[in-house]
Amino acid sequence: MKAFNLLLFSLLAALTLPAAAQPTVKPVSGVYIGGHIRRERPTTITKLRESGFTYALLFNVHVDTDGTLMTDGETICKNGEYVFHETQPNYQQDIKNLKTAPTSIQRVEIVIGGWGNDSYDHIRDLINAHGTGASTMLYKNFKALKEAVPEIDAVNNDDEHCYDLETGAKFHLMMYRLGYKTTLAPYTYKSYWQDLCTKIRASKANAVDRVMVQCYDGGAGNVNSVGSWTFTGVTERHAGLMYYSNDWNVDLNIAQFQKWKDDGVATGGFVWVYNSEEWDLNAWASGMNRVYQAVELPEEDAMVEVFSGANYTGYSVKLPEGKLAKGELAMYGLKGNDVESVKILKEGASARLYRNVNNAGLSTLCTENQASLTSTYRNHINSITIEYNDPNGIKKPARQEGEKTGWRAAWHDLNGRQLAGKPKAKGLYIHNGKKEAVK
């Protein structure tokens, strides 16, 4: 009985240990998205979910003279009602799907402004005439949008013409009251943006949570001066490039993000703009996530390390237990079709590598180090399932969909070995860490 009690105590102790820290995903890699997201749906939704980008900026929402919200000539909200479903019946579900697992998208923002866009002139006039109270049409329409598409987390300010400090601050504070976070996307007129941020934060310290410095087109001169864009109290400063910057060379663009990171001037990055299929979203996003560490994985949770080169060369990414689809792998910094060698970091860990993007179909199992995958799998891996069996004999199974960490209910024999399910044979077993008889 003493031996059994010791085993039972060990099982109970293991099963009641605090779950490993859930990996924290930071929104450090963003992409502006044009009307292409609607024109080519649902393909674009799938590509974005698998991209690795951790936040998406929907370009753009135009504010008309009466406060009506529009995009590409179609009405989104009018007279305090959401009417976009009349012309875009899939939009609400599509935006919801962007943030539905498995996906890399953690945050969605709408963009107001842009070159040639007079939204902030209209916002200025509307606020000067009517204020920002709950009875105003500006308030009602943005409230209707939030209620219809609650997955929209924030409003991105890309004012490139109006620059009215008083009404700009009032607009941000109104959006904050409505439940939107707000971000700033300047490229010029530094003093205005700094004053705007200071004025907003004087009323609501958390109303602006990120500044995004444009380093392309009119803002190309910011490439070497990102650090001069200082905003008191705002710690998240991202720098952005166009998708065809640096002669379309992804590695050169990632090197620029790395330089900004190494210089200590940027905590994240973004790219303008996904409005065609001319460029590789996954290559950009996975590289940006490696640079800015979108996922901070505790060392004790690292089970497997995958390498982009044979013999454990090239860049490498450490991965935890669980099912990781293509977009989730990209959050850790792994580009699709980019694995050549594998190291098992913890005894009892194994990795099943899939050619498919969603952990199904043709696969190979790695239970020990692999210096070079076979030609069937080398540079053809798009999802990975990692399992961990404790060397002491207690199995810690792979995560299920929607599950991050922790133990699932399990049956064990009296030697501590996990069983496939409830045993059919009569006898004494351990179930959920407690002794239980099967009759």
pLDDT of residue 430: 74
pLDDT of residue 50: 97
| Strand duo 268-274 + 237-242: pairing | parallel
| Closest by CA position to 167, among listed 192, 142, 188, 134 | 192
Q: What is the chain's alpha carbon radius of gyration, rounded to the nearest angstrom?
A: 25
pTM: 0.84
pLDDT of residue 390: 78
pLDDT of residue 438: 82
What is the per-residue DSSP string for 127-189? Answer: HHHH-SSTTSHHHHHHHHHHHH-TTEEEEEEE-SS---HHHHHHHHHHHHHTT-EEEE--SS-
Phi/psi for 383 (5° steps) reads: -160, 155
pLDDT of residue 219: 97
- Write down the residue that tokens 């053809």 correspond to: 380
CA 172/CA 176 separation, integer angstroms? 6
For residue 27, cis peptide bond before it (omega within 30 degrees of 0): no
CATH 1.10.1530.10 fits 299-389, yes or no: no
pLDDT of residue 410: 62
* pLDDT tens digits along 257-298: 999 999 999 999 999 999 999 999 999 999 999 999 999 999
CA 339/CA 170 separation, integer angstroms? 50
Which whole-number Å values give the CA distances from 371 to 34, 207, 233, 313, 374, in the listed order? Answer: 42, 50, 47, 9, 10
Looking at the structure, give the CATH architecture of the domain made up of residues 24-294: Alpha-Beta Barrel (3.20)
Taking every pair of C-alpha atoms in the chain, what is the biggest distance, in angstroms?
Answer: 83
pLDDT of residue 439: 75
CB 363 within 8 A of CB 354: yes
Which whole-number Å values give the CA distances from 173 to 97, 107, 156, 168, 253, in the listed order? Answer: 29, 20, 13, 9, 35
* Tokens linked to 383: 């999802």
pLDDT of residue 428: 79
pLDDT of residue 434: 64
Domain ranges of the chain: 2-17+408-438, 24-294, 299-389
What is the per-residue DSSP string for 217-262? Answer: GGGGGGTT-GGG---TT---EEEEEETTGGGG-HHHHHHHHHHHHH
* pLDDT tens digits along 387-405: 998 776 555 444 444 433 3
CB-side exposure of 389: number of CA atoms within 13 Å?
Answer: 10
Q: What is the mean pLDDT of each run of 10 residues along the chain (439 residues)?
A: 40 36 82 97 98 97 97 97 98 97 96 95 98 98 98 97 97 97 97 98 95 97 97 96 96 98 98 97 98 94 97 97 96 98 96 96 96 97 94 52 39 66 77 72
Phi/psi for 273 (5° steps) reads: -150, 145
With H, G, I as helix, E, B as strand and everything else as coil, classify residue 207.
coil
Amino acid identity of 216? Y
In sequence order, which residues have a C-beta less than 8 Å from that of residue 202 and are 6 or more positions away? Answer: none
pLDDT of residue 104: 96
| Closest by CA position to 184, among listed 167, 172, 199, 174 | 172
How are strands ordered across the β-sheet holding 313-319?
313-319, 304-309, 341-344
